[in-house]
Structure 1
């Protein structure tokens, strides 16, 4: 043993390394009188209500049937979902052409994966495919290139919800960036137009926008010109979302220090170069939670298309519970609908957290 070892005894391991499960439970759940009371109360509620809920949801549920009379076990009657599953997914899309919808659904994760995940192989080709995916999907769903035409009035269910939600998300982000930059422009005409648009759209509910896009928009078109009902809804949803997105992005632009703008000027960058290379990347990174929150709200707000005669997932659910064969099964129908919405919204929120962790540069407290 050296002289140094005698003077400096070995240090104990860090406290975090000595924490076991029991210690963690004691400190996190029973560390004080208040936390102990809350933990015991939550445990009681779980024991009291979770087993009966699981029994109703799964163990005593009926899964197959053609009407409510076939559900006799006393649990949930999921037969209403299995019997009308195609209606929930594709609405009134012709049965012999549903394979086109399944192809579009199958290709969607591939396109999204290459847009959202950097480490996938052959990403350059994947991004090219993702760029053409909207056109491919439009041809598959609506018809063309040898495929029979399917009117958008027959689209419904989850298909319609995804079309409205994804279109609004894809369109609102770039349009929101343009509106945010326009509102901060030094040109009074551009700034005033953007302010008027944003404040007008944000000052009215989405129902009003959908009604105007369905009833008022055709009045501004040349005589004899017709516009598809779904296209009108997509225009209204996209414009509505872009106004809210513009304010989210503007908040990010305002949070960028003035020194960043001065640094861009010192480098000799023009306005669009500085925005594309320096300002916007930082601003968008800061407002990722706000952007994703807007996306989630938009995805849920697509249910309002029912007021203009389009039956999305929630619209199909409302129609199902009024069917005499399945009347009285609103709990099952709404639980299924809520679960579908939750899966998509939760996925967006988790990707938001992943993106925040990936892009933080030491300024974020972990």
Structure 2
């Protein structure tokens, strides 16, 4: 019985060809022609003027927060249900995350709860598109305009997804992507910042490269930044992956349809499946998640899958319940029941681009035997 990992990337396009070119030419560091090409191709694909390639999605968030001038005493509204990176970037900048609950259906942030959280200290809304469906952006765009707020759009999980026909990652004053191996396109590690603002783009370019000044003497620095550069090797992978984006999206949606059809019976046992679509988007199934009726039921099914050599991953843990933030005395007495249920009862199934049909069928067979 083979082990089925939760994610397997698909690297059977031009990846080897482009990597070989990097090695043969010697361009393997953060200098090299693939970097600029990847920035231009990816920003053009999404529909933004400027792309800044970086070492990870988390690095992109650090830079985005700083590039917007967010700092000590500022507040940034964001979902509690997300990976820790957005909150970490806000907190390490000296700002304060202000949290909102999730929708119980699409698992994204509850947009209706945002306006009541806005104060004179609010500087930005940090949008995180979760697991394959986008956040409802129009109300957020309206609030940003009304209160003169910036939007940071974390589109790490929705490569190629659209909101009302417009690609996610094109709505933020600054938008970020991750290219970790479980994403629709991968560079191993890596990320991208996108913006239409020339000045913001210039700041992002400086911050990723230790704030070297373009017209200043070498090794003379007026600001602090990071070494968050992407390598030419990573960018070469990114270009090869981007060439196959349409195929990747089609494969993800076919995988999602198979799971939806074959696991529909779980609803009769109190499970929640991902929404197939909303009024503004069809799911691209970055991952295929399940929400069990109880935490105990989740643990039971996850254990059975593990015993059958099928990997799963738990859902994100809420920011207001993170031990590290409790030690910092953040989010005292805050409760977000929808997000808490997702975090406790949710997990996702093997859903990488490299998964084979017979593996999908085995996952379904084990679940059916465990439930019915």
TM-score band, normalised by the shorter chain? under 0.3
Q: Under a length normalisation based on structure 2, what TM-score does the superposition of the two structures give?
A: 0.23
The structure number with the bigger radius of gyration is 1
Return the TM-score normalized by structure 1. 0.23
Which of the pair is proportionally richer in strand? 2
